Amino acid sequence: MVISWSFLKAFEQCPYQQKLIRMDKVIPKKMDERRFIPGAVGHRFFEVWAKRGFDDGITPKTVERILYIMTNRKNIMWGDKSVYEKVKKRVINEASMIIEAVQHHGIDKLENIHVEKFFSKPLPCNQHSVAGKVDMVANNGTWLLEMKMSAEAKWQDSDQLIFYSLLLGSIQRRYPERLTFFLPVMKNIEDRLLNIEFAKDDFIDMYRRIQDIILKWDAGQFPATGDKETCQYCSVRNYCNQF
């Protein structure tokens, strides 16, 4: 089993849901991906631009192209052309906010950065591993940034950064010293970088959460514990014996 941040969160909410998906291999109901597209385009735009060394050649056409490719890759139908135009306008605007934030906070001046960096660490028993893709690792692994294309506080879960830090620390044998949410769509430019407070105990707590999941998984403990909201959006609800 590969333990990612999203798996950890999902398993803690409802182990039975994850058993259905990962062990019983039931096919989850297809989600309407249209609402995730602006966020995905923002992430891809940042990745592409960072890999180009934050050059000056990036234009709205670049964003448009990314939107076009993603739309085709995910077979998304927008229906009315005006809906597509609205999304296009939004992603171009959000890309300009990314540019503004990157330049204002000096992210473009950083050296030795890695974007969309994948890390994986097998656990001692070799049956399970911990893995994650970090949006940006800077300053020789001492600074970790997670980008959120939303201003809503509910997406800024500091435990996500703790999870990645634990993973990175176990591979690099050195924990990051600074953990930050990069929030390019915040209205106030100063709020577009949000550093989080953390302590050594946070890593220990996260390690225990991972251990707890492994113990439950290995013991075959999969209670159906989804709350009202989790069940409402559950992609395998039709297979759940609770309904």
Residue ranges that bind ligand SF4, judged by CB under 6 A? 14, 16-17, 224, 226, 230-231, 234, 236-237, 240, 242
CA–CA gap between residue 169 and residue 66 (Å, rounded): 33
Q: How far is the CB of 16 from ligand SF4 (least distance, A)?
A: 5
Q: Minimum distance between the CB of residue 109 and ligand SF4, rounded to whole angstroms?
A: 45
- Smallest gap from residue 7 Cβ to ligand SF4 (A): 14
Nearest to ligand SF4 of 67, 234 (CB atom):
234
Residue closer to ligand SF4, measured from CB, 32 or 201: 32
Q: Residue 9 Cβ, how far from ligand SF4 at the closest point, in Å?
A: 12
Residue 11 or 175 with smaller CB distance to ligand SF4: 11
- Closer residue to ligand SF4 (CB): 11 or 198: 11
Give helix then strand counts, H and E, for the chain: 8, 6
Of 27, 25, 9, whose CA–CA distance to 206 is shortest? 9
- For 42-78, b where at least 16 C-beta lie within 10 A, e where not — what string? bbbbbbebbeeebeeebeeebbeebbeebbeeeebee
Give me the helix-helix angle, 81-104 and 60-73, nearest 10°: 130
- 16 vs 45 by CB, closer to ligand SF4: 16
**146 in Cβ contact with 196 (< 8 Å):** no
Helices 5-13 and 200-218 pack at an angle, to 10 degrees, of 60
Closest CB to ligand SF4: residue number: 226
Q: How far is the CB of 222 from ligand SF4 (least distance, A)?
A: 9
